[in-house]
Every structure is written in C-alpha cells, then in structure tokens.
Structure 1
Amino acid sequence: MLAIQLTRFGDPEDSLKVVENAEPRVPAAGQALNQIEYAPLDHHGLLLARGVYPVHPALPRAIGNGGAGTVLVDAAKLTVVDTSTCPGQAALLIIDPTKGLGTLTELRSAARASAGQPDSLCTRSRKSAMTTQSSIGVLGAGEVGRAIACQAVRHGQGVVIGNRRGPQSLEALVQGLGPMARAATAGDAAKQQLVFLAVRFFAVPELTDLTTWSGKIVVDTTNQFAAANPWRGRFDVGDLTGSEWVARQLPGARVVKALNTLFAPFIAADPRHTEGRQVAFYAGDDADAKQVVAGLLAEFGFAALDLGGLREGGRLMQLDGPLSAKHMLLQDVG
C-alpha cells in the first residue's frame, strides 16, 4: 500500500515521504499534522485528510496549481497538495497521478462530496463566535487577513473581505472559505460594525475616507513597517504608538490593538493545545470595544490578555516592543 509519511518536526530532515507497504494510521479531525505518521490512499488513489492541520513553515513548497493548492511533494507515484486557503494550515489532497483523475479542483470537490463535506476549506466549529454581529469586515487579503477570515468562518461567523484590487481578486479565496465569506470592495468591507485591519501600516491613511468610521470597532493587526516585500524599516509616527496613529487616521473609530504580535500561521491554527492556549494580547481605550474583541478572540480559542490602553499596551505590542513576535501559551489551572 502506498502511503504518506511525515517525519517529526524538529528532525534535521523534516519532510513528507512516500512509502510502500506501510501500516497507515488515518488522522482524526483536528489532529495536528506533525502527529501523523502515515496516511493511506483510498481505492481512488487519493485521500483528503479531514479536519484542518497546522503546517510547519519549514515544510517544503514547490509550484502552485491554479489556486487549487500548493504541491508539497511530487514523487514518481504520488503528489501531495495543500489545498487550504488558510495560511499555516492544510487540507491534504493526496493523488496517485497514474490514475488520471482530472484536475486538482475536480478531485478536491469529488473527495469532499464523497465524504459528505461542504466544499469549504475551513472546517466549521459548532459554536458560533459572535452572535451580536451579522458579519465582520476584513480589510486586506494577505496572510493575516486570510488567517482571520478562516478563524471567523470556522466558528460560524460571517466575513466580508475586501482589498485594494477588488472582489474579483478574492474569488478563489472566498470559494475556499465557503458560503460564510463574501468578497467585496474595500468600502463594503469597511461598512461592517467590526472591522479587522490587515493592511500595510503605511497604507492606513488611504482608508480615512473609505467609510464613516465613527463608532465602529476596528481591530488593528498592523505593524509599523516602513516598507514591504520584504518588510523593513520603521514608519515614523513620532511619540505616538502605532495604534494611536492608526486611530487618528480613522476618526471616531474605537480601535483595539490585537493579533499583531503573532505570525499568520499562529493566527490561523487552532490556538488550543495540550500544553495550553495561544495567547492573544489586546489593548484599547474603549472598554466596551475591548470586551467585544476579547470575547471574539476567546471564541476563536485564544487566551485573550488585556494590556491596558493604546498608549501603554500598544508600546508593549508594537514593532520592536517586548511582546512583538512572541508566541506564548497560557496554561489554564483549576
């Protein structure tokens, strides 16, 4: 029997391997990918690993395939494809190319149909995340924006996602996220009462006239890099913290700083681990807005920790702050 084997992460030769005559072990839904030793092929020569699995950033990546997935392994007898839209996670489609079973998109849909699953790449939780909001807005469709949208959809929360390139550029993304997500213009996404900012920091002033910001809750996930691709430099905002400056660009918005200390794969992955929950720091000057955001983060599974206002908390969380890029777990005791 052909199967896929994943060596334990942390080994010098972290990789996916094709093996023969293996004793496969089917991954359970929600099982971490780095705990899977073998996953078998079915009689069609493909396997869709159910659930959503964290993927180590060091996992080898090769060519993309028309938006249907990223080829992880392309061996003589087997192709393994990450079909997930969510950064840092994977819904694995494993194909025996000798079967000639059509395109990756067709295979993905067929596999999900046969498994009785919706054609959506973000497995949904039974628990609704935020019943008081009809949909959340996400501005920006990069790694962070996609990670936030995936978490929201997974927890039954509607998402309106927009970017500067327009809805057509988001069609593949929302198709993968499923019916809870809608592609929109940036202006439409900004009309929601709770909006995540996942744009480049220096682009925030372009959003000032996008909508009437007064009264909206804005979750600022930005970091004040001066330039992108690659990220470099530090945008000068004088004595202000990054989020204080963001708040000035969006008059009347109730800004809450959150998730900017985490790399996108950590935002996208299930934050609940055996050792504890992924910490998500947040800060803001509006107590009610902070309560809403903290509740949403908790529904996503994060351990939400309040650091105070945008001044003191923002300095701890912002680029070059002591908590920047720190990924911590909180052990719940008692």
Structure 2
Amino acid sequence: MSYAIIGFGAVGQALARAFARKNIEVAVASRRPPEALLPQAQAIGSTVVPKTLQEAIKADVIFLAVLFEGHREVAKDLASWQGKTIVDAMNGFGVSSAVVAQAFPGARLVKGFNHLPARTLAADPHVRGGRRVVFLSSDDEGAAASVAALAEQLGFAPVNLGKLEEGGALVQARGDKSWGPLIFQDLFRNES
C-alpha cells in the first residue's frame, strides 16, 4: 500500500509527522516543486518524500490537506480515480464531503483527520494512558475500514461515525461559519 499527502501546510505536515513516527513512507506534494518541500520534509523524517503532484497521485491512499478551494484542481489531474482511496482532511464551510467525492470520480472517499487542530494532530497520539481519537465517515464501508486500520497503525484510535451525510456532518464546518459538534474535540480512547 502506498500513501501520499497532497498539501504540505500545517495539516499536511501534521499528517506527515504521524507517518514519520511510525517509519511509514509517505509522498508529499503541493503546488510548490518537490525541492521546495525538501527542507521541511527532511526535518520531519526520512520517510517523508517530496514528489510532484503527478507522482504523488499514483499512491493508493491519498490524503487531501489542501484548502477546500484547491481540491478541484487536484481532481483534474486524473480522469478516473478508480482504485484510489481519498481521505478528505479538509474543512470547507457549508459543503459536505459528498461534494468532494463528486470531484474524484471512481474514488472511495473517507472523511477523516480533519477535526483536530494541526498542532494537536501532529502530537504523539498516545496520551494520558490512551490514544487520541480520529473520526472517520464514508459511504464505502471497505474504505472506512482500511483507513481505520491505517489510523490504528499510525497510533490513533479511529471512531467510525457512519455515512458522509450522517457522521460526516458531525465533523464539518457549517455554512454559517459554525462547526459540527465534534470539531476540535480532543478525545481519547482508554487502552485498558
């Protein structure tokens, strides 16, 4: 299984840190050329590999960590996203992940890793005798299960909230500049 993070701002770098902690290789890409990302990537860890966007989208699992307005530009890079799992880690006001799913024809979309501030997401998920919770939702149960397994591998405690229109609404920005009830909730699952 190969992984990529599209967008290398605060959230993209936080996700890269999670991969680096577990020595899992992950490609990172943004609008900037790979060599511009190299200093930040090297500072995070040797398993964080800057690539072009065209190279990064070859991955099996792709985390979208771009500004919401930029997801359509990324989506244009492939005519069909068949066989890819897209993890929507964005927060767009007043739009659900179902809108994002439409931009990536054929992809299996999972909403996740978006409810925590980047600084919290970047921190070690093992805290207070438990593991930090990440919420996931998807209309594709298989995709949700595979992203949950990856979240576990990265040290998080995944909680499946169900389908995008149900569970996804709990972790998305609302149209009136308010947030779903689970946004910014830093919860932990006890290990015992």
Task: Give the Cα–Cα distance (whole angstroms) in 2 for the partners of residues 223 and 326 of structure 1.
Answer: 15
Q: Is residue 309 from structure 1 mapped to residue 177 from structure 2 by the alignment?
A: no
Task: Give the Cα–Cα distance (whole angstroms) in 2 for the partners of residues 186 and 278 of structure 1.
Answer: 30
Q: Is residue 256 from structure 1 mapped to residue 133 from structure 2 by the alignment?
A: no
After superposition, give the CA deviation of every residue in 1:139-158 in whole Å (9 maximum; x if it has no partner).
00001101111111221211
Q: Is residue 274 from structure 1 mapped to residue 142 from structure 2 by the alignment?
A: no
Structure 1 unmatched ranges of 5 or more: 1-132, 225-233
Task: Give the Cα–Cα distance (whole angstroms) in 1 for the partners of residues 132 and 48 of structure 2.
Answer: 25
Q: Is residue 328 from structure 1 mapped to residue 187 from structure 2 by the alignment?
A: yes
Q: Is residue 222 from structure 1 mapped to residue 75 from structure 2 by the alignment?
A: no
AA in 1 matched with 2:184: A
Superposed displacement of residue 222, structure 1: 0.2
Task: Give the Cα–Cα distance (whole angstroms) in 1 for the partners of residues 130 and 34 of structure 2.
Answer: 38
Task: Give the Cα–Cα distance (whole angstroms) in 2 for the partners of residues 140 and 163 of structure 1.
Answer: 5
Partner in structure 1 of residue 144 of structure 2: 290
After superposition, give the CA deviation of every residue in 1:69-119 in whole Å (9 maximum; x if it has no partner).
xxxxxxxxxxxxxxxxxxxxxxxxxxxxxxxxxxxxxxxxxxxxxxxxxxx
AA in 2 matched with 1:266: T
Task: Give the Cα–Cα distance (whole angstroms) in 2 for the partners of residues 176 and 144 of structure 1.
Answer: 16
Task: Give the Cα–Cα distance (whole angstroms) in 2 for the partners of residues 178 and 332 of structure 1.
Answer: 27
AA in 2 matched with 1:195: I
TM-score normalised to the size of structure 1? 0.54
Task: Give the Cα–Cα distance (whole angstroms) in 1 for the partners of residues 99 and 121 of structure 2.
Answer: 24
Q: Secondary structure in 2 aligned to 1:312?
A: coil
Superposed displacement of residue 303, structure 1: 1.2
Contact 2:63 2:86 in 1 (8 A): yes
Task: Give the Cα–Cα distance (whole angstroms) in 1 for the partners of residues 135 and 46 of structure 2.
Answer: 30
Task: Give the Cα–Cα distance (whole angstroms) in 2 for the partners of residues 136 and 177 of structure 1.
Answer: 16
After superposition, give the CA deviation of every residue in 1:248-292 in whole Å (9 maximum; x if it has no partner).
111111000111100111111111112422111100111111111
Partner in structure 2 of residue 190 of structure 1: 57
TM-score normalised to the size of structure 2? 0.91
Larger Rg: 1
Task: Give the Cα–Cα distance (whole angstroms) in 2 for the partners of residues 179 and 266 of structure 1.
Answer: 22
Partner in structure 1 of residue 42 of structure 2: 175
AA in 2 matched with 1:187: Q
Query: Larger relative CO (CA 8 A, sep 6+): 1 or 2?
Result: 2
How many equivalent residue pairs? 186
Give me the CA root mean square deviation: 1.4
Task: Give the Cα–Cα distance (whole angstroms) in 1 for the partners of residues 27 and 81 of structure 2.
Answer: 16
Residue correspondence of structure 1 range 92-107 to structure 2 within 5 A: none
Task: Give the Cα–Cα distance (whole angstroms) in 2 for the partners of residues 154 and 332 of structure 1.
Answer: 19
Task: Give the Cα–Cα distance (whole angstroms) in 1 for the partners of residues 51 and 131 of structure 2.
Answer: 33
Superposed displacement of residue 179, structure 1: 3.0
Contact 2:17 2:45 in 1 (8 A): no
Residue correspondence of structure 1 range 206-217 to structure 2 within 5 A: 206-211=73-78, 212-217=80-85
Instruction: Provide runs of 4+ in structure 1 moved above 4 Å.
Output: none
Q: Is residue 158 from structure 1 mapped to residue 25 from structure 2 by the alignment?
A: yes
Superposed displacement of residue 332, structure 1: 3.5
Instruction: Using the aligned pairs only, state the percent identity.
Output: 38
Partner in structure 2 of residue 11 of structure 1: none
Give 2:66's match in structure 1, choosing from 188, 191, 199: 199
AA in 1 matched with 2:23: G
After superposition, give the CA deviation of every residue in 1:167-202 in whole Å (9 maximum; x if it has no partner).
121010222233322111112111101000000011
Q: Secondary structure in 1 aligned to 2:51?
A: strand
AA in 2 matched with 1:154: R
Partner in structure 1 of residue 176 of structure 2: none
Partner in structure 2 of residue 141 of structure 1: 8
